[in-house]
A and B are shown apart, each in its own frame.
Chain A
């Protein structure tokens, strides 16, 4: 059993090493390239993208849906684990909350990028129609950002106070900042009561808000009468997909942080095994909804829907469709059934497969439908019949992903990724229990 000082020393944020600096520089280069492309998009308009009359939602909206899905895991999964008092959650909750906050912030920014004219952002509020799913999205995304931030911040307060003390002599400036952010946390009974009550409220509240977020995201599509989107399955389908994308991202990041920060004693194989089972369940649920979404229409689809399905299953989008289904879903399920598949390295590889598969899955949901309108596409240039993102779109999207990773990287750099106070408290409790058993 580690003592308090060792735990603080292990879990306190560390300065970047050589690899950390290279990684951050790499992200900054991508962000700058994307920023330059975005400035050009602002100057010339969305003309620089390959978005046209038909494919009017492209890679930006796919990326937005991916961010929204990934953000679901942190808050909702953590909230469920908190409310059900699962103690094994401790080393992974903060990582999940960080992913959640970074992704939902970037989801909001991606929508603004897709608008082409960010100066008209205010119109979304001034001219909002409550009947429009776009308005629902405009309301729910900031709400989820606020809640995700609070869910991360409240449990962080004791750790910030610990860090203030820890860095008092070695880094006084940093210690001062931790002091300000810890809001004079002393661990008094009154403070603990307010904190505990607040966390409980957020944990209860964030579950329906998270479900609302995913459902509204799904309704953006299903309230638009288009082949491939016109489905009552869409809300549940998106929620199950969000679990897959989110847990995949969590597993991947957990492995990297564990390796880089040498946290093998805190994030153990046991945690990967538990998350592996959780991911397998999420993948199976999502597979079930995929069967509902694609198999049943094969039997009942009218002509337009049939053309759309053929494009996915054996046509232009078949490679991406089968990649997302096999690599992103079926293979992970098979691998996760074996104990060796739930070991850290295997889980990292599976997590990557799931995340990449999930990203392309969103692309498959958004683009092919737009290219299959009910009225035939006529009298437009041949290039409008197809869509593949332009270099501007790729750069901006890569930059968005890099910004999300940079937010995560900076949070990992400056806040404890494994809760210090809670880990110490749990250690103490275990010690007490062991002593009782011995006596």
Chain B
């Protein structure tokens, strides 16, 4: 009887605990959570004859930490003389990054001073307040070509301001070859355009490339007025990479089904000999038992 009373008491106590905690949950839900401010960073990129895109980064300061803000919806808007045209929406990934590709550059309208004004805005949600970031840029183009003079290969590039359709002098361009980890600079790090808006940079010999092809880039890097503009040129002026892979060969570092033949034969012979003798010795135990 005493035990039954105890069980009832414990049961009631548990029910009480459950109900009280459920009540507290309501209280928590009513508490106002302080929202954090999202910081947006927007960069404009133009890859000649390929694509135009905006690289967006969303971050926030939560407590004493800078965190990436993932999975938020952003609106990309073109502002023209007070009017707004939505170009589309983007969502940030786990790193807080988003790449908004502009399908057609002609969708963008410039203002009266030939600047394109683009705003990226975030409406806000339960955790973050609304935010926006605007950038302005003019359209530029790079024309790059490969020339050969006295058996030396050069990359010749011209930088053009498309808004006034004129070449740009005294601007810094970078020439580089695409590599796996980071680009390889060709010539000086910065090459200043002449009065014809042009640079001519020699390409040194012996740079390895698949089938001898080098993916050369001429880049106007992160300009205040023009953003980042890049021209890519495939130039057959590199040294072909000879594939020295041993992937399909029987080597010590190959996979199980490509074990070297000698390693299949000798260790297996040793194993067979050792275990053969062990089996023989075990049968000797039976022989002793029977004799």
Contact = CB atoms under 8 A, between A and B. Distances in A.
B173 to A, nearest CB: 34
A264 to B, nearest CB: 34
Interface in A124-164: 127-131, 136, 139, 143, 146-147, 150, 153-154, 157
Interface in A183-203: 183-185, 188, 190-191, 194-195, 197-198, 201-202
Interface stretch (B121-129, B206-214, B255-263): B255-263
B219 to A, nearest CB: 29
A131 B291 contact: no
Interface in B101-159: none
B247 to A, nearest CB: 15
B278 A146 contact: yes
Contacts of B259: 129-131
Interface stretch (B69-77, B164-172, B186-194, B282-290): B282-290
A131 B287 contact: no
A205 interface: yes
Contacts of A202: 281
Interface of A is mostly: helix
Contact of A131 (B252, B271, B277, B282): B252
Contacts of A37: none
B267 A130 contact: yes
Max count, chain A CB within 10 A of own CB: residue among B255, B267, B271, B278: B278
Nearest to B260: A131
Interface residues of B, number: 26
Interface in B205-263: 252-256, 259-260, 263
Max count, chain A CB within 10 A of own CB: residue among B255, B282, B285: B285
A197 B259 CA distance: 38
Given A147-B278, A201-B277, A205-B274, A131 B284 contact: no
Contacts of A195: 284, 288
Given A131-B252, A131-B254, A190-B291, A143 B281 contact: no
Given A130-B264, A131-B254, A131-B260, A205 B291 contact: no
B11 interface: no
A101 interface: no
Contact of A198 (B271, B281, B290): B281
A194 B256 contact: no
A127 B256 contact: yes
A38 to B, nearest CB: 30
A130 B285 contact: no
A130 B250 CA distance: 12
A359 B174 CA distance: 60
A45 B261 CA distance: 38
Max count, chain B CB within 10 A of own CB: residue among A127, A131, A147, A153: A131
A141 B54 CA distance: 61
B275 interface: yes
Contacts of A197: 284
B290 to A, nearest CB: 8
Contact of B275 (A129, A143, A194, A201): A143
Given A131-B252, A131-B260, A205 B277 contact: yes
A209 interface: yes
B291 A194 contact: yes
Contact of A191 (B254, B267, B291): B291
A261 to B, nearest CB: 28
Interface in A360-379: none
Contact of B281 (A150, A183, A185): A150
Contacts of A191: 288, 291
Contacts of A157: 288
B288 A194 contact: yes
Given A150-B278, A201-B277, A205-B277, A131 B288 contact: no
A185 B291 CA distance: 9
A185 B290 CA distance: 9
Interface of A: 127-131, 136, 139, 143, 146-147, 150, 153-154, 157, 183-185, 188, 190-191, 194-195, 197-198, 201-202, 205, 209
Given A154-B281, A190-B291, A201-B280, 9 more contacts: A129-B255, A129-B256, A130-B263, A131-B254, A131-B259, A191-B288, A194-B287, A198-B281, A209-B274
30 contacts: A127-B256, A128-B256, A130-B256, A130-B259, A130-B263, A130-B264, A130-B268, A131-B252, A131-B254, A131-B263, A139-B271, A143-B271, A143-B274, A143-B275, A146-B278, A150-B278, A157-B288, A183-B288, A184-B288, A184-B290, A185-B288, A188-B291, A191-B291, A194-B284, A195-B288, A197-B284, A198-B284, A201-B277, A201-B280, A205-B274
Interface of B: 252-256, 259-260, 263-264, 267-268, 271, 274-275, 277-278, 280-282, 284-285, 287-291
Closest 4 CB pairs of A and B: A183-B289, A190-B291, A129-B256, A198-B284
